[in-house]
Amino acid sequence: MLSLMKLVSYLLISFVMFGAFTACKSKDPILNLKPDNRKTAQLLNELNDNRFAPEFLSAKASVKFKRDEATNSFKANIRMQKDSIIWMSISAVGYEAARLMLTPDSIFLMNRTERNYYKGNLDYISEKLDINLSFQMVQNLLLGNAVGLDSLDNIKRSNAKDSYLLSSLNKRKVKQLKQKPEKFDQNEVFYNNWIQPDYLRVVKISIFDLRTDQSALFKYSDYKPIEQQQVAHQINIAIQAAQTAALDIDFSRISIEDELTFSFRIPSKYERIEQ
């Protein structure tokens, strides 16, 4: 069995690790409209206007994590303040086992089962885990928003069967990357976003980090309306790295709130985990 600390670390890593290029169909499209030929700039503007970005959000989820032969299941209560805080309480067998809080520059983790805690900055965690840990990336992946589409100059657009595909790498270069990876900048990160055409919601995201050769694929399904927006209530993540892993997140509730608190009091007897 994985230790709780490693389990929470993998949960966090799952939202920021990078994905392989695949073209499988999303299992649960919202409708069956076909993508049209609107201009890429127009599509990006509409996608940005349609981002799911509430000021405060709370959610409850069941999470199943599998790495090799080890499987863990737990419940998670999640609270978010836009661009500021991601807070998570993790429970197993009816009791809180850990609490996690992420801010744009810091990470806090309290392990109740082992009575210890970690407090540090994201740069250190990124270096230790060899990933590009980003608050904005975690936030967007949790909310089902597109990632890696900041620069119009780098975006390649095509139409898949049931979705728009916005990518930082076109099909020809994908083939070149597989055949001759040494010709590419080893620090490059490549993004793919599959966008469902009628509600302009992401149904799949893949990102590829050439430097670490890590891969993961995020699939979004079970869309339900929340205040005039369609929001995914299931996220399935497949990870390819030194070890393969899978993470399934099933939201039983997602609510937009007027305000939330983010309690994170560490008992005085808890031992700090040093960097």
CA distance 129 to 133: 9
Closest CA to 264 of 134, 136, 75, 109: 109
CA distance 166 to 158: 7
pLDDT tens-digit readout, 87-107:
999 998 889 999 999 999 888
User: Per the confidence metrics, is the pTM higher than 0.85?
Assistant: no
pLDDT tens-digit readout, 67-77:
877 888 899 99
pLDDT tens-digit readout, 119-176:
888 776 666 656 666 889 889 999 999 988 876 677 888 888 889 999 876 556 656 6
pLDDT at 25 over 60: no
- Point out the least confidently predicted range of 18-27, 66-75, 255-264: 18-27
Percent of the chain whose predicted confidence (pLDDT) is above 70: 74
CA distance 63 to 72: 8
pLDDT at 78 over 90: yes
**Better-predicted residue by pLDDT, 35 or 114:** 114
CA distance 15 to 137: 7
The first and second tokens of residue 143, run together, are 């909310």
pLDDT at 233 over 90: yes
What residues contact residue 217 under an 8 Å CB cut-off, 6+ apart? 19, 20, 22, 204, 205, 206, 237, 238
Side chain identity, residue 85 = I
How much is the mean pLDDT over the chain? 80
First CA to last CA across the chain, in angstroms? 24
pLDDT at 178: 60
Let me know: does 195 contact 166? Beta carbons within 8 Å.
yes
- Point out the least confidently predicted range of 97-106, 108-117, 140-149, 181-190: 181-190
pLDDT at 226 over 90: yes
Give the pLDDT band of residue 12 (cuts 50, 70, 90).
low
E strand intervals along 112-212: 116-121, 156-159, 164-167, 189-196, 201-209
